[in-house]
Amino acid sequence: MAATVNRQWRLNGFTGFDSLVLKENRIPEIGDSDVLVRWKYASLNYRDLVVSKGTYPLGALDGIVVGSDAAGEVVKIGSQVRLFEPGDRVTGIHLQTWQEGTLKAEDIGNATGGKLDGVLQEYGVVPESGLVKIPDTLDLQQGSTLTIAAITAWDSLVGLPSKRLEAGQWVLTQGSGGVSVFAIQFAKAMGAHVIATSSSQAKMDRLMELGADYVINYKEVPEWGAEAKRIANGAGVDHVIEVGGPGTLRQSLNAIKIQGVISLVGFMAVSENSNEPKLLEVLYYGCIARGVLVSSKQEFQKMNAFIDANNIKPVIDEKVFDFADVPAAYQYMWDQKHFGKLTIKIASK
């Protein structure tokens, strides 16, 4: 490792994308249980954008290295590291202390790119426990898309053992962002039927190509929840991947079947309706509404095995940003110009 300088994108305040500052620091030393990773590719999430604006619900610390998702190669390992060797291809888990089982309150604060330094840097030191190997069938660019979007989609479909998605059931997804696209891919590999929504004909066509059985234009069909329920044999869908939040929850409730599951994973759609649904209304619809905050390292490894077994390839936007252009990448995603995951090339070679 000839390099000694580590370029990092850090927060300087919470004023938006202009608060992202490129700095240079020395490559940090590793502890006995740490791994030094040279990050090669990163991908963005909606949470990364709102972190910079100071509106992320779970909060973030000023001055942190930003970014949540990246893949790279192990450069150096501590004396007590047993799971990795130099040259291994790895990615990080988002909630670093959530290894298995049920999420604990203390895990929520241990989030990369929030309370912990993130991945938009050339080199990162990560505890051995905070890494997983990327699937053998994926390259590093594809592997950089898994940490939040993929595992969130995975947990939405299989995270409740008694409500795990089964072949022949119906799934409703919203839009063409990373979580929704992964949900389509996973659901189809599990033998389910998928209804997607979009307002762009080009994106609707691509969602169909990815396997969506039906795509509803939500601008042309404002009551798209009722339409989804009609498509799903009139009984409603078994799973809704709810990425909009207050602005779309009403339609999700209209689409869900009795005892179906609405996985609340996002908050992109702002409602201007003072009559937006309240959580108590879940009672009237007889469904389950659950918040999804990624999942554990154990589930991440199960998902990676599923990706390998089913030859699932992450959908990546054709535009790839250079490491020097991170603020422009944030703006591109904010303007919703992307389809699937938006990636940033960190390493020049």
The half-sphere exposure of 26 on its side-chain side, counting CA atoms within 13 A, is 3
Looking at residue 270, what is its pLDDT? 46
131 and 229 in a single domain? The answer is no
Question: What pLDDT does 271 receive?
Answer: 46
**Is the same domain home to 9 and 144?**
yes
Residue 259 in 3-state DSSP? strand
Q: Which two tokens stand for residue 46?
A: 């909606």
Q: What is the DSSP string of 44-71?
A: --HHHHHHHHT--TT---TTPBP-SEEE
Q: What is the pLDDT of residues 266-309, one digit of tens each?
A: 665 444 555 566 666 777 788 999 999 999 999 999 999 999 99
Which domain does 314 fall in, by range?
Answer: 5-148+295-345
Q: Where is the domain boundary, 245, 264, 291?
A: 291
Paired strand residues for 212: none
Single out the residue in 291, 306, 325 at which a domain terminates: 291
> Do 137 and 228 belong together in one domain?
no
The CATH number of the domain where 24 resides is what?
3.90.180.10
Shared domain check, 237 and 143: no
Check whether residue 63 and residue 135 sit in a common domain.
Answer: yes
What integer is the mean pLDDT of 72-78? 98
What is the token pair recorded at 292? 């999804």
- Give the span between the Cα atoms of 219 and 200, in whole angstroms: 9
The residue whose two tokens read 């912990």 is 116
Tell me, yes or no, whether 245 and 320 share the same domain.
no
Mean pLDDT to the nearest integer, 51-65: 92
Per-residue burial over 261-280, b = 16 or more CB atoms within 10 Å of its CB, e = otherwise: bbbbbbbbbeeeeeeebeee
Q: Is the domain of 120 the same as that of 168?
A: no
Instruction: Tell me if 77 is assigned to some domain.
Output: yes
Give the residue among 240, 199, 195 at the shortest CA–CA distance from 213: 195
Whether the Cβ atoms of residue 191 and residue 167 lie closer than 8 Å to each other: yes
What is the per-residue pLDDT across 306-336, written as a single tens digit (0 to 9) for each?
Answer: 999 999 999 999 999 999 999 999 999 999 9
Of 132, 130, 129, 108, give the one whose Cα is nearest residue 47: 108
The set of residues, in sequence order, having a beta carbon less than 8 Å from that of 328 and lying 6+ positions away, is 321
In a domain, 153, yes or no: no
Looking at the structure, do residues 40 and 120 belong to the same domain, yes or no? yes
- Give the end of a domain, one of 255, 275, 291: 291
pLDDT at 255: 97
Residues sharing a CB contact under 8 Å with residue 92, sequence separation 6 or more, in sequence order: 37, 69, 70, 112, 119, 124, 126, 130, 131, 132, 147
User: What is the spatial distance between Cα 116 and Cα 98, in angstroms, rounded to a whole number?
Assistant: 14
Q: What is the residue type of 125?
A: V
Do residues 16 and 144 share a domain?
yes
Domain check: are 10 and 140 in the same one?
yes
- Please check whether residue 26 lies inside any domain of the structure: yes
- Is residue 230 assigned to a domain? yes
Residues 9 and 142 reside in one and the same domain: yes
Q: Which helix (H) or strand (E) holds 24?
A: strand 20-26
Rounded Cα gap, residues 16 and 232, in angstroms: 41
DSSP assignment of 133-168: EPPTT--HHHHTTIIIIIHHHHHHHHSSGGG---TT
- Is the pLDDT at 198 greater than 70, yes or no? yes
- What pTM does this model have? 0.93
In this predicted structure, what is the pLDDT of residue 246?
80
Q: Identify the pLDDT of residue 273.
A: 55
Alpha helices in 100-248 (DSSP H): 105-108, 140-143, 151-158, 178-189, 201-209, 224-231
CATH number of the domain within which 248 lies: 3.40.50.720
Residue 42, in any domain of the structure = yes
* 118 and 202 part of one domain: no
Instruction: Name the β-bridge partners of 321.
Output: 344
Per the structure block, which two tokens stand in for 265?
């994973």
In the numeric block, which tokens belong to residue 286?
């007889």
Cα separation, 295 vs 101, in Å, equals 9
Per the prediction, the chain carries an average pLDDT of 93
Give the angle subtended at the CA of 152 by the CAs of 151 and 155, to the nearest 5°: 80
In a domain, 154, yes or no: no
pLDDT in tens, 78-103: 999 999 999 999 999 999 999 999 99
Evaluate whether 269 touches 244 at the Cβ level (below 8 Å).
Answer: yes
Number of independent structural domains in the chain: 2
- Distance CA(145)–CA(63), nearest Å, equals 24
pLDDT of residue 245: 81
155 within some domain: no
C-beta of residue 215 within 8 angstroms of C-beta of residue 196: yes
The C-alpha atoms of residue 70 and residue 345 are separated, in whole angstroms, by 10
With bands split at pLDDT 50, 70 and 90, how would you rate the model's confidence at 134? very high
Domain-embedded: residue 267: yes
